[in-house]
């Protein structure tokens, strides 16, 4: 048994299956969305979040009881859950919606996560102490889910984290976060929500034994209605189009020529 009477921590890492970062995005011919028939993988910021949860456990070995990942997505989202389990998470939840359903918006995702967190506390007796998730997903770049979730739960939040120091016994966290022109230090009590930025860590590669173990780790499948959630978007996408092609510029040989051109175009010295 653990020597102290303090309850061990549970970490939840929400992850999203997105179009692979290396794929060149193309608007579909109907102008209703992008072509999704391309390679997908785990949102890179979420990969950093999974890595951070695992590193926290490596640092605070006896203090962290579980790392659970959750993905809200179509059937194939199960692939990114397995990737996270192969990296070292313990178990997963897949809130599945059909391939044909529209992509849910951040608010619906945040509400789903809140429902899961409440369910973990009530039904599983495993209250979540820390949520670590990507600062944004690289598909819609909304960058809202973490903040909305913290708001809905009434928890503290540290967003765009580049360093996380967990004080497991004091149940608090010191977080360095990226802000315009520098960084700031935040200290907050658990439970809290942390969103990850690029500099936080470099995710590991899964070892073969861990890839094999991941196949046997439990993944619970839920539907949005199991959680009493409606994922229907509140916004209607009217049209998606490619950005206009940029016209090629002209090269100038000298500063004088540049100044002359600027004057020609109507610019004046201040």
User: Rule CB under 8 A: which residues touch other proteins?
Assistant: 19, 21-22, 25, 39, 44, 47-48, 79, 82-83, 86, 136, 138-139, 141, 198, 202-212, 214-215
Nearer to other proteins, 225 or 241 (CB): 241
Nearest approach, Cβ of 244 to other proteins (angstroms)?
Answer: 16
Nearer to other proteins, 142 or 260 (CB): 142
Nearer to other proteins, 172 or 210 (CB): 210
Q: Is 93 exposed, middle or buried (0-12, 13-18, 19+ CB in 10 A)?
A: buried
Q: How far apart are CA 141 and CA 133, in angstroms?
A: 14
Nearest approach, Cβ of 86 to other proteins (angstroms)?
Answer: 6
Nearest approach, Cβ of 173 to other proteins (angstroms)?
Answer: 23
Nearest approach, Cβ of 45 to other proteins (angstroms)?
Answer: 9
Nearest approach, Cβ of 207 to other proteins (angstroms)?
Answer: 4
| Token output for 70 | 């959750």
Nearest approach, Cβ of 12 to other proteins (angstroms)?
Answer: 22
Nearer to other proteins, 202 or 264 (CB): 202
Nearest approach, Cβ of 78 to other proteins (angstroms)?
Answer: 9
Q: How far apart are CA 218 and CA 35, in angstroms?
A: 32
E runs forming strands in 22-143 = 40-42, 64-73, 91-96, 130-134
| Token output for 133 | 């998730």
* Residues, the chain: 270
Q: How far apart are CA 15 and CA 162, in angstroms?
A: 18
Nearer to other proteins, 79 or 220 (CB): 79
Q: How far apart are CA 241 and CA 97, in angstroms?
A: 26
Q: Is 220 exposed, middle or buried (0-12, 13-18, 19+ CB in 10 A)?
A: middle
Question: Which helix (DSSP H) or strand (DSSP E) does residue 106 occupy?
Answer: helix 106-122
Residues 197, 130, 89, 64, CA torsion sign: positive
Nearer to other proteins, 85 or 192 (CB): 85
Nearer to other proteins, 212 or 260 (CB): 212
55: number of CA atoms within 13 Å, CB side?
Answer: 16
């Amino acid at each position: 048994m653990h020597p102290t009477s303090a309850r061990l921590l549970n970490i939840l890492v929400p992850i999203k299956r997105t179009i692979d970062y290396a794929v060149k995005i193309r608007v579909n011919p109907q102008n209703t969305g992008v072509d999704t028939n391309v390679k997908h993988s785990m949102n890179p910021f979420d990969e950093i979040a999974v890595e951070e949860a695992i590193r926290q456990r490596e640092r605070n070995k006896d203090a962290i009881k579980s790392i659970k990942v959750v993905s809200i997505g179509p059937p194939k989202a199960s692939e990114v859950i397995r990737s996270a389990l192969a990296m070292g998470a313990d178990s997963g939840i897949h809130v599945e919606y059909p391939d044909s359903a529209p992509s849910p918006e951040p608010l619906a995702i945040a509400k789903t996560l809140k429902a899961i967190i409440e369910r973990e506390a009530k039904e599983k007796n495993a209250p979540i102490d820390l949520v670590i998730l990507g600062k944004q997903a690289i598909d819609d770049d909304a960058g809202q889910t973490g903040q909305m979730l913290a708001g809905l739960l009434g928890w503290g939040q540290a967003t765009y984290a580049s360093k996380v120091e967990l004080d497991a016994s004091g149940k608090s966290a010191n977080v360095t976060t990226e802000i315009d022109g520098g960084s700031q230090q935040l200290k907050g009590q658990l439970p809290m929500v942390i969103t990850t930025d690029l500099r936080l860590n470099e995710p590991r590669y899964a070892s073969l034994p861990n890839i094999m173990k991941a196949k046997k780790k439990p993944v619970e499948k839920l539907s949005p209605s199991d959680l009493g959630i409606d994922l229907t978007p509140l916004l209607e996408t009217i049209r998606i189009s490619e950005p206009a092609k940029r016209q090629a510029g002209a090269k100038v040989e000298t500063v004088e020529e540049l100044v002359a051109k600027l004057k020609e175009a109507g610019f004046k010295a201040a």
